[in-house]
Homo-oligomer: A and B are copies of this chain.
Amino acid sequence: MSNIERNAVAVLGCGTVGGGTAKILVEDCEFLRQRTNVPVRLKYIVDVNFTHARALGLPEELYEKDLDKVLADPEVGVVVELIGGTTLARTFICKALKAGKNVVTANKALLAHYGAELFALARENGVVIGFEASCGGGIPIIRALYDGLIANRNEAIYGIVNGTCNYILTQMTHDGKSYAEALAEAQTQGLAEANPTLDVSGLDSAHKLAIMSSLAFGKYVELSAIPVIGIDTLELMDVSAGQDLGYTIKLMAMARKYDDGKISTMVCPVFIDKNHPLAWVSGSFNAVSVYGHAVGHTMYYGRGAGSSPTASAVTSDIMSILTGAFQKYFNTLPIWADRIEKADMLEPSKAEEKFYIRINVIDKPGVLANVTAIFAKHDISIASMVQKNNGKDDNSIPIVIITHLAKEGDVADALQELNLLPELNGNSVCIRIMEEYKENI
């Protein structure tokens, strides 16, 4: 690819991130040229509707509805997909790659589902796909994994990678709001979609974890292999009880590689010590901790979403492609199953954590004996058991149990049995307690 002839960029989808990217390319075109020697220029904004583009004052002469015309333009070197979703976006990216265009995308759902297919198609056509903006918004975490940390056999990755969830959990923690109140507040602030399912279910975080953990470990971690628990059933009472114990609640995307090579992954709400390096990450910010065998713990923090932060990441990919730097990494990126082995996943039931378990018991003699007998039967060692006040006058008493390290499967079995006890009022609540990963350097 000659940079001189193919420095024009087409942005597909002029929404929040597309608009932000177009603005940077228009306003900072000369600044970017000075920094890279590449005369980058935005040539097309492709959409079906230009209301948002007009509202941003983006030049009318860039508006284009005909994608085929854009793909036929030999000056276009990079097509930026910011449509979202996994249908149209997939079709358009495939067309662009087949037309010999490099692609930049922020679409984690698309990559988590179809990354292997798209990367293979890119390689067939001698082009690349930049995806910095797919994980952690403006945080340059993908680059850290493929470039800055290249010397590392990574051991663990822990990320707060969904700003909507982190905002909601911060509201619950700091302001004592219920989940419903905090979600409503997030929606008012424009930080949650009208339909927030993809975020609060944890699925968006799982998309990002599939991408980051494959890249970090050099083993293909399939999306479907990641157990996912969302934040949508969290009760304020447990958030508060955790705080009393010195914990902060976070939705964590976690992946670990054990000494025997097995990998375990999970997305779920966790309690972390309030002094844990990720505990202070609040509001809509994101952060990702990576543990490498040489570098030890490094952490990357920043805005995980939003127009200009995500556009910053998109633009870094555009420039890295136009200078030709990213091409030096793309072909050997250890990310999808076509180039690397599938991860040897630890059976999820065998993963070990500490657990916070809350049950509501009806105050009768012998009930605690029954409860503790079930834990003992399933080989779960109890670290502490505390009676809480639920403020209600219903003869049901919340008991908070903290376990020592226990297997996911054993805890699941114990909970199932517990929930059948006649002395239990409602189902038990279970939240994992994540300890800080210990560096091995």
A residues contacting B by CB (< 8 A) are: 20, 24, 28, 31-32, 34-37, 132, 138-140, 143-144, 147-153, 218, 275, 277, 280, 285, 292-303, 306, 308-309, 311-313, 315-316, 319-320, 323-326, 328-329, 331-332, 334, 441
Contact = CB atoms under 8 A, between A and B. Distances in A.
Contact of A303 (B150, B296, B331): B296
Contacts of A31: 153
A131 to B, nearest CB: 13
Contacts of A275: 280
A254 to B, nearest CB: 18
Given A143-B148, A316-B147, A302 B299 contact: yes
Chain A interface main SS type: mixed
Nearest to A276: B280
25 contacts: A31-B153, A34-B218, A34-B334, A35-B332, A132-B148, A138-B294, A138-B295, A138-B298, A140-B147, A147-B316, A148-B316, A149-B316, A150-B320, A151-B311, A152-B312, A275-B280, A294-B309, A294-B312, A295-B308, A296-B302, A296-B308, A297-B301, A297-B302, A306-B441, A325-B325
Contacts of A36: 150, 329, 332
Nearest to A320: B147
B294 A277 contact: no
A317 B285 CA distance: 29
B150 A294 contact: no
